[in-house]
């Protein structure tokens, strides 16, 4: 068994993979594959409806929100958000907390004005800026709830005088939060919700259709909402597997239960990083992500060695992003506690081997 710490597309529950494989052969006992049925068939309409309902239920969303499953990944939302919400002469406020936040800012500038209220770029995004004011005349305020690359996470969302928008690609459904405080939430599926190829967009209805400009159909939230995410052929399989994953989250006890185990996983791993003489964390302790755990070695020349050591123990996907180096253990919902324990054991064993064989650390 592999322990999959990849940052995304990331690990999915084994049970979901089994059901998905079955559906590729024979979906709902129809004698047809999920890959070759009409998206307008009652069987698939039911999948789409259930996926939408599960999002609403798991997040306790009020009736004033619409849920969409769209093509294009999270990156398309960097553009669709301002396309739909930001007038040419209006300003949107953004928090610059990482590479993805930065890309979101870049795309917003195609559509309107951007006010970056704070940035931790100068410190290589090792912390979440907290000392800022949100301009009251901004159209919305955009934050990245979890910075996948740098391993930081907003643990306390700001009170915002304007609609709060969040890219939650790498921590949606991983912890409790009040979704009804947000104007819009989006997430690529491929970390905590499903496979690559679909993005989730949740929007408060009063924000839709407020901008002046003409919007081409496929970029227009209003049309997607009116058509139940079937304005065109949706990414059928990605929606199906997302629905199965959401069912799985619910069966585990919902987000409350996910948060509990995620906290336990993160606590164990950070404790070992701090305790172990070979490793150290890369970012501000108070902003540490409970989804993407970034760490390095005190002796960087040992990192390759540890990566191989871990790989021999079936820990994969641990290599850190080039912007940070070292290691990144993504511990998404589907990653079991036992995988974290397995990694912690590897770190401990490596420490022992390292100290008993001093020549190793001098390589």
Ligand X SMILES: Cc1ncc(COP(=O)(O)O)c(C=O)c1O
Query: Would you tell me which residues interact with a second copy (CB under 8 A)?
Result: 1-2, 4, 6-12, 17-18, 20-22, 24-25, 30-33, 35-39, 71-76, 78-79, 83, 103, 106-107, 110-111, 188, 190, 194-198, 214-219, 231-238, 241, 314, 316-317
| In contact, 346 and 305? CB cutoff 8 Å | no
Q: Coil, helix or strand for 23? A: helix
Alpha-carbon distance values, 102 to 96, 121, 139, 147, 221 (Å): 6, 9, 18, 11, 23
Question: What DSSP element (H or E) covers 204?
Answer: strand 199-204
Opening angle at CA 66, ends 135 and 104, nearest 5:
45
| 89-108 residues near ligand X, rule: CB under 6 A | 100
Residues assigned a catalytic role: 100, 167, 191
Q: Is 99 near Mg ion (CB under 5 A)?
A: yes
Q: Which of residues 145-164 bind ligand X (CB under 6 A)?
A: 148
Per-residue binding string, ligand X, 176-215, x by CB under 6 A, is ------------x---------------------------
248 marked ligand binding residue = no
Contact 203, 62 (CB under 8 A): no
Count CB atoms within 10 A of the CB of residue 225.
18
* Least distance (Å) between residue 10 CB and ligand X: 9
170 lines the binding site for ligand X (CB under 6 A): yes
Cα angle vertex 347, ends 341, 349, to 5°? Answer: 100
Smallest distance from ligand X to CB 357, Å: 37
By CB under 5 A, name the one of 4, 91, 147, 190 that touches Mg ion.
147
Give the separation between CA 292 and CA 266, rounded to whole angstroms: 9
State the Cα–Cα distance between residues 25 and 122, nearest whole angstrom. Answer: 51
Closest approach of a second copy to the CB of residue 74, in Å? 7
Q: Is 296 an interacting residue with respect to Mg ion (CB under 5 A)?
A: no
Question: Which range binds ligand X by CB under 6 A, 70-78, 263-271, 293-301, 353-361?
Answer: 70-78
Nearer to ligand X, 187 or 347 (CB): 187
- CA distances from residue 152 to 187, 284, 302, 317, 354 in whole angstroms, order as listed: 17, 8, 24, 18, 29
Q: Indicate the residue among 149 and 200 with the shorter CB distance to Mg ion.
A: 149
If one asks whether residue 98 binds Mg ion (CB under 5 A), the answer comes out as yes
CB of 293 to ligand X, least distance (A): 14
Per-residue three-class SS string for 41-87: CHHHHHHHHHHHHHHHHHCCCCCCEEEEEECCHHHHHHHHHHHHHCC
At 129, phi and psi to the nearest 5? -60, 140
User: Is 100 a binder of Mg ion (CB under 5 A)?
Assistant: yes
Residue 319 DSSP code: B
Closer CB to a second copy, residue 217 or residue 263?
A: 217
Residue 276 in the binding site for Mg ion (CB under 5 A): yes
Question: Is 100 marked within a binding site?
Answer: yes
Of 74-82, 153-161, 192-200, 275-283, the window that binds Mg ion (rule: CB under 5 A) is: 275-283
Helix (H) / strand (E) element for 147: namely strand 146-147
Give the integer Cα–Cα distance in Å for 151 and 294: 5
Strand partners, 166: 143, 185
Shortest Cβ 153–ligand X spacing (Å): 10
Question: Cα separation of 204 and 108, whole Å?
Answer: 19
Q: Is 74 in the site for ligand X (CB under 6 A)?
A: yes
User: Residues marked as binding for L-glutamate?
Assistant: 40
Positions that interact with ligand X (CB under 6 A): 8, 73-75, 100, 144, 148, 167, 169-170, 188, 232-233
Positions that interact with Mg ion (CB under 5 A): 98-100, 147-149, 276, 279-280
User: Residues marked as binding?
Assistant: 40, 74-75, 100, 148, 167, 190, 232-233
């Amino acid at each position: 068994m592999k322990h999959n710490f990849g940052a995304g597309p990331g690990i999915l529950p084994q049970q979901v993979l089994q059901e998905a494989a079955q559906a590729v052969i024979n979906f709902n006992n129809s004698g047809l594959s999920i890959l070759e049925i009409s998206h307008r068939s009652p069987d698939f309409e039911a999948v789409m409806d259930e996926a939408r309902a599960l999002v609403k239920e798991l997040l306790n969303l009020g009736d004033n929100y619409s849920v969409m499953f769209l093509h294009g990944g999270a990156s398309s939302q960097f553009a669709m958000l301002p396309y739909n919400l930001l007038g040419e002469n209006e300003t949107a406020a953004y928090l610059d907390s990482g590479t993805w936040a930065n890309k979101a800012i870049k795309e917003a500038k195609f559509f309107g004005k951007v006010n970056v209220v704070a940035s931790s770029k100068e410190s290589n995004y090792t912390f979440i800026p907290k000392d800022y004011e949100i301009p009251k005349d901004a159209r919305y305020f955009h934050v990245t709830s979890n910075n996948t690359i740098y391993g930081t996470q907003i643990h306390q969302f700001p009170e915002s005088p304007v609609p709060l928008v969040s890219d939650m690609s790498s921590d949606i459904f991983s912890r409790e939060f009040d979704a009804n405080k947000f104007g819009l939430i989006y997430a690529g599926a491929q970390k905590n919700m499903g496979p690559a190829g679909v993005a989730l967009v949740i929007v408060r209805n009063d924000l839709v259709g407020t901008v002046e400009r003409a919007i081409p159909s496929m970029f227009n939230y209003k049309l997607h909402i009116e058509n139940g995410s079937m304005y065109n052929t949706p990414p059928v399989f990605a929606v199906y597997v997302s629905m199965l994953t959401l069912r799985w989250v619910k069966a585990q006890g919902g987000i409350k239960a996910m948060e509990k185990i995620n906290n336990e996983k993160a606590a164990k791993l950070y404790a070992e990083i701090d305790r172990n003489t070979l490793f150290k964390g890369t970012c501000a302790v108070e902003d540490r992500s409970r989804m993407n755990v970034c760490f390095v070695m005190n002796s960087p020349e040992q990192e390759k060695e540890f990566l191989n050591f871990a790989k021999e123990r079936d820990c994969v996907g641990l290599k850190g992003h080039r912007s940070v180096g070292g290691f990144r253990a993504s511990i998404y919902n589907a990653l079991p506690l036992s995988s974290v324990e397995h990694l912690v054991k590897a770190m401990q064993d490596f420490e022992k081997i390292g100290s008993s064989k001093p020549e190793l650390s001098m390589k």
